[in-house]
Amino acid sequence: MAQWAAENAPPAPPPGQEGAADPDNPDSWGAEAGANERILNQEEIDSLLGFDLNNDDSGERTGIRAIINSALVSYERLPMLEIVFDRLVRLMTTSLRNFTSDNVEVSLDNISSIRFGDYLNSIPLPAILAVFRAEELDNFGLLTVDSNLIYSIVDVLLGGRRGTAAMRIEGRPYTTIERVLVQRMVEVVLADAKAAFEPLTPVNFVLDRLETNPRFAAIARPANAAILVKLRIDMEDRGGRIELLLPYATLEPIRKMLLQQFMGEKFGRDNIWESHLATELWTTQMEVRAVLDEQQVGLHRVLNLKVGDTLMLNAGPDSLVELRAGQIPLTRGRMGRRNHHIAVRCEAPLTPLAKQAVQTGKGF
C-alpha cells in the first residue's frame, strides 16, 4: 500500500517554483494563472481603444473609438462638397489679394468629419470665432481665425513692413480695431463662400456675431457631427489658418445636391453632350397635323356613319388652318397647293405655348 501511494504521488515542483499550483488544492489555481498572465503596456491599450496621440487627425480609426465614431458620415460620401471648397479656395485667393493688396496664397489643408464638442475643445486660444447664418438653409456655421492670422491681417492692413513677422502680444483681449479688421476679412470670406455654393444652390451667408470664448459660440449640441475645413493663408512670411465648420444639420437641406457626381467646371453640365443633344433635336422627325375644323358630334351619329356620308366643315378657302404637334398648337396658316402637293403657308409666329414646349422639351 505504501509503495502504491509513493508511485501515484504528484511530482515535486522544480526548484524556484515552490508556489506552483496544487491539483488537489483549488486555492492555488489562481497563483499559476497569475504567474502566466501578461500585462498590456500603454501602446497596446491605446491601440485596443483606438487612440493614437501621434496621428490624431487621421481618418483611420480602430478599436472602440471606431465604434463610437461610426455615426459620423464621411465627407467623401458627398463628392460635390470637395468641389465647392476647391472653388472657395480659388475665389479666396483672388478676393484676399484685392483686400490686402498683397501676394496671398490660400491652400486647402484638410477636410474631415468631427463632433462639434470635440472641435470646441480643440480650438487653440486666443482666437476669434465668427458665427454666421445660412439664411436659405436656416442654420448656422462657424468660422475660426487663429491668432497668427489675426495679427498678420492687422499688420498688413495697417501698413506693416514686409519681411518681418507680425508681433504678437499675449495676455490681452483683442482691441476694437483688430476685431473690426478681422470682421471685414470674415465678410470677404463669407461672400466667397456664397459664390462657391452659387452653382449648386443659392445660399446667403450673413455674419451674426464675433466671439472669443468657444462656450459662447455653441451653434450645435456637442455630440452633433460636422464638416471641418482647414484653410491655410500665406502672405509671404506671414499668415495663419482659417477653419470653417458646417454642421451636418446645416447641409441636410442640400444633401441630395451634394451627392451628385461632378462633371466639368459647371457642376454637372457637359458641353459636349449638350451640343450633341441639340444637334439630334434639330434633325429629329416630328409629326405635324393641319387641322381644318373641329366639331362636336353625337356618338350616335358617329356610329351610324357609312361610306359616302358627307360632313360639312365650318371652313372656307380663305380660312386659317391650325398646325399642331400632338396637343400643342404651333401656328396658323392658309392652305394651298404647291406643285402636286397640298401645302400650308404659315401666317403667324409660333405661339407662346409652343415656344415654352420647345424650351422645356415637353410635348415633342
Counted residue by residue, the chain has a size of 364
Instruction: State the pLDDT at residue 320.
Output: 86
Contact 334, 321 (CB under 8 A): yes
Query: In a 10 Å sphere around its CB, with 0-12 CB exposed, 13-18 middle and 19+ buried, how is residue 159 labelled?
Result: exposed
Which one, of 24, 30, 29, 26, lies nearest residue 10 by Cα?
A: 24
Instruction: State the pLDDT at residue 264.
Output: 43
DSSP single-letter state for residue 341: E
Q: CA separation (Å) from 19 to 6, 26, 33, 97, 199?
A: 22, 13, 12, 78, 78
Question: Which residue positions in the chain have pLDDT lower than 50?
Answer: 16-17, 19-20, 33, 53, 55-59, 70-72, 75, 263-266, 361-364
- The residues pairing with 211 across neighbouring beta strands, listed in sequence order, are 129
- Give me the sign of the Cα torsion angle 290, 295, 296, 298: negative
Contact 111, 244 (CB under 8 A): no
Q: Count CB-CB contacts under 10 A for residue 66.
A: 12
Contact 345, 321 (CB under 8 A): no
Instruction: State the pLDDT at residue 194.
Output: 92
* Angstrom distance (rounded) from CA 102 to CA 152: 12
| 206, 212, 215, 221 alpha-carbon torsion, rounded to 10° | 30
Cell 486660444, located at residue: 125
Q: Are strands 225-235 and 320-325 parallel, antiparallel or unpaired?
A: unpaired
Instruction: State the pLDDT at residue 67.
Output: 56
Instruction: State the pLDDT at residue 131.
Output: 93
CA 118 from chain center: how many Å?
21
Domain residues of the chain, as ranges?
75-259, 285-292+319-364
Cell 486666443, located at residue: 126
Type of residue numbered 196: A
Which one, of 198, 170, 222, lies nearest residue 87 by Cα?
A: 198
Contacts of 201 (CB under 8 A, 6+ apart): 136, 254, 257
Q: Count CB-CB contacts under 10 A for residue 240.
A: 20
Give me the sheet containing 289-291, strands edge to edge.
289-291, 320-325, 328-338, 341-346
For the domain 75-259, what is the CATH code? Answer: 3.40.1550.10
* Angstrom distance (rounded) from CA 51 to CA 63: 8
